[in-house]
A and B are shown apart, each in its own frame.
Chain A
Amino acid sequence: MRTFDVTVIGGGPAGLAAAISAEKEGARVLLIEREARLGGVLKQCIHDGFGVIRFGEKLSGCEYGARFIKELEKTSVEVSCLTFASKIEKTEEGFLLTLIKRSGLEEISTKTIVLATGCRERTAKQVSIHGSRPAGVFTAGTAQYYLNVMGQMPGKRCVILGSGDIGLIMARRLTLEGAEVLGVYEAKPTPSGLMRNIYQCLNDFEIPLHLSHTVTRVHGDGRVCGVTTAKVDEKMQPIAGTEEYIECDTLILSVGLIPENELAEMLGVKLDPSTKGALCDQLYMTMTDGVFSCGNALHVNDLADYVSESGDEAGKNAARYAAHKRELAEVHFDRNFLYVVPQRIDLTDKSKPAVFFFRSSEERKKTRVRLLLNGTEILKKTYQNLRPPEMERLSVDLSALPLEASSKLEFVMEELPS
């Protein structure tokens, strides 16, 4: 049986970075990818905006991925595409993985695992869309695959539900290919995607954005022939009498992403109900020793650059991990935060600043975020505004802090008069 120090599951932006950084630490690394080619969702992201933070330049998703793949080729990382991790079992040495690939069923042993499995899209049924079940209802990512990878038009007259980034990007993309995008409907009173995408993908193409509106019903026997939209109240419930029928042949959904953690669950990795990803410490280790999580499998990121950053760290730390016993302190935060990642701090390694990512639970104007240790402020930062779609990053130097397992480390948020 082949053995590895680090096995990275998933060859997207997180997994690529994790494999490269683990190998740099001298580990014997296996990277498995279920698709035929590396890159994950980057392969279908032909729009730009990738790499601004990491490379200081604007790249397409494909270019961004290619940079990592090129770097990976220089390493000794073993890459196995069209490979599916069917089963993971805990063993004394680490983990036993059952891999399914065209060349056969292989069991491998690995000391650590980096879960870089990305996320999946929420579907029509999960946002309670009713009516018939015709062809022409796609999630934005699937529509993007049809158009950008297969070169096929998934729609001609499209309605988009949800203002998530992929939906906004697809609104522009479909328009550029000659399709008609009749409008983007968002049940929330504020857009879900990045502001830059609202301007570049909708406003520039005069595609209307209908806030506080949703699609309640799909019509059509074979193909979609129309949808019913309605205004929603504060509880996002459709308001009777506001229904409108819109003739279209396609409904595209961009209504949220869900971290993929089926493998994590197989290992009993503890998940955080708000991120739907694993609970982890600042080294990206989950509450299961030897299992690391990064990228969108950990929490849904807004930028691929952050995904890669967490991959870098998870890969490196997985390589360094040598069954040392962790000592964890909990990270608390008040209700103004949607979530904070990491949720724990490993006290045995405070050499490097811990990088926290958080999202505000709602839109705020000028806001101060403070980090308290047992009630004493150790850091503060003021933001001109905070929006849930946009992730914030905070680096905190822990080395000099009297941090113990019993300490209360807490993030608090307070809105300031503007």
Chain B
Amino acid sequence: MDPRQKELLKRFGSNVTLEEKEGCVYLSGEVSSWEDAVSAGQLCAKSGSKTHVVNDIRVSGLEMKETKIPRFTDDAIDGKRPDVLIIGAGVVGCAIARELSKWKLDVLLVEKEYDVALHASSRNDGMVHPGIDIHPGLVKKKLNNRGNRMYTRICSELNVPFDRCGQFLCFDRKNILPILYMTLPYWLLTGVGATRVHTYDSLRKKEPDVSPEVKCALEFKRAGIVCPYGLTIAYAENAVQNGVKLSLDTAVLKMKLVDGRIKAVKTNRGTVFPKLVINAAGVFAEDIAEMAGDRFFSIHPRKGTNSILDRKARRFVNTTYSLMGTQSKDEHTKGGGVVGTVDGNVLVGPDAIETPDKENFDTDAKSIKNTFLRHSQVAPWLKSGDIITYFTGVRAPTYEEDFIVEPGRRTKNLLHAAGIQSPGLTAAPAIGEKIAKLAIKKLKKTGRVEKNAAFDPVRVPILRPSEMSKAERAALIEREPDYGEIVCRCEEVSRGEIIAALHRPVPCATVDGVKRRVRPGMGRCQGGFCGPLVLKLISQNLDIPEEKVRKGTQDSELLFGPKGAAL
């Protein structure tokens, strides 16, 4: 008997069966909890294997939540025949779109949410990883290394703040120091890049506020930080600027296949007929693969929560640091620790919890408490009183815990960028490059594909007067007085910036959308003062009645209409 089946028998009795066919391991049956279903999958998966686990095990009594999709339908994209349809406008989908905009192609990028970067791409700690704990044989290792190296150029082209600040992995035992020196060749060999061993004193010169318990550390100089949704928005804007069509609020519902090719893709905004489809759907990549007749892997959602600390805490963190062994119980979480962000805050977390619900962004007091407890070991200055808010993201791992960046196995005109979890943000530029290369190769088989001579790699950012010199700022305000009217005082955001955010290549008409672009409401008062002002600016500038202005997603209108009207 297959040793994995034997093990399944031992753990779950005859409830779970395994069948290996067509290069996949199919699991079926019924167990009593989601944890069991996941551990059955993990038990049968081999890290990095190309033979993927497809997990069809049901959990008794568990009703899977339906995917949240827009309630409305229209014909906005009906009948379109794009060369490429990209599904999912997270950082990966947007990076692919921007890469493809270097070619003369009709590219349609669809996203079921009201904005780009709403799932994992806005719900992570923004670390650009050096790739220290990824096995060298994995797909994600290569893409991480390449992506990391691309960051400086990409961020300068897209005008996104990026700080290659480095990362400290701390140790609480002094006797480990000689071993740290011995690891140096390994880091060089595996492409992690410049690495330095720090003694007690040299570490404190860089990070004076790490716990006195920390005795030595490794510094990975290629680590950096970026604002993950800022980067995604910038990618999307630059793609649109170079000809990509973006359709938001657009959920893929069904696909029609003929002879192993996707002929038609039905959405709530019409049916489209693409030559090639790219699956960049994050936690929904498995669902898209299934619609496309190419489901050869499974995604098991894993959520993680981060706390955001007040700017006041930033003085304790120059870079990012964590204590070895405390990042997370789950070995698949790369980051973790305390991260100083490009926006001047500090992030603490994340944890890692398996969940059946792909859109479960709820936070829990327990997560916050546990991550604080864990990271206080390296950062004794952590105070829950400094928390200004917290957020949860859901990772999209396969059971093999590796990325799938390859052509469809059964469906011909399909490419997958699936199983993208940490370090997906780091790898995104490289995934974009690789998928675009595969796409061009496929498209060239059926016709000529030319370079887009008009491609402009530079994205013009929204002006940020508070970061300008006094003279520059004075000149700007003289030209455009709206930049002299501060609307959000915690983050010093002007009316001019907010109005600019409403008129960019990627549409934005919500309070949260504005917040992600220019930061009003990101500060310590969390929009208490500026929330109504931002709402009014959206209403006035986009001609939407105040009571129709939304916080974010559908049904999130903030107000019920003028008082005195019948309730």
Contact = CB atoms under 8 A, between A and B. Distances in A.
A153 B486 CA distance: 26
B492 A86 contact: yes
B556 interface: yes
Interface string A68-84: 00000000000000101
A145 B532 CA distance: 8
B559 A34 contact: no
A227 to B, nearest CB: 13
Given A105-B477, A151-B563, A135 B528 contact: no
A223 interface: yes
B563 A100 contact: no
Nearest to B545: A152
Interface stretch (B1-9, B238-246, B382-390, B443-451): B382-390
Contacts of B563: 147, 151-153, 177-178
Q: Categorize the interface residue count of chain A.
A: 35 or more
Contacts of A7: none
Contacts of B528: 120-121, 123, 139, 141-142
B196 interface: no
A240 interface: no
Contacts of A145: 532
Given A125-B389, A125-B526, A130-B365, A154 B558 contact: yes
B473 A130 contact: no
Contacts of A134: 551, 556
A139 B473 CA distance: 33
Interface stretch (B287-295, B356-364, B422-430): B356-364
A233 B180 CA distance: 49
A156 interface: yes
Contacts of B312: 265
Chain A's interface: helix, strand, loop or mixed, by majority? mixed
A135 B557 contact: yes
A123 B546 contact: no
Nearest to A142: B528
Contact of B485 (A102, A131, A265): A102
Interface in B253-298: none
B363 A222 contact: no
A132 B529 CA distance: 22
A108 to B, nearest CB: 13
Contact of A146 (B474, B524, B559): B559
A162 to B, nearest CB: 14
B553 interface: yes
A101 B484 contact: yes
B536 A132 contact: no
A126 B526 CA distance: 10
Interface in A106-127: 107, 120-121, 123-126
Given A86-B492, A130-B365, A120 B529 contact: yes
A34 B547 contact: no
A93 interface: no
A102 B485 CA distance: 5
Among A103, A124, A130, A178, residue most surrounded by chain B Cβ atoms (within 10 Å): A130
A147 to B, nearest CB: 6
A101 B554 CA distance: 36
Interface in B472-509: 473-474, 477-478, 481-482, 484-486, 489-490, 492, 494
B525 interface: yes
A139 B530 CA distance: 12
Nearest to B390: A125
Contact of B470 (A98, A124, A132, A155): A98
7 contacts: A84-B486, A120-B528, A125-B390, A128-B365, A130-B363, A154-B560, A156-B560
Interface of B: 68, 312, 361-365, 368, 384-385, 387-391, 465-466, 470, 473-474, 477-478, 481-482, 484-486, 489-490, 492, 494, 524-529, 531-532, 536, 546-547, 550-565, 567
Interface of A: 34, 82, 84, 86, 98, 100-105, 107, 120-121, 123-126, 128, 130-136, 139, 141-142, 145-147, 149-156, 177-179, 216, 221-223, 262, 265
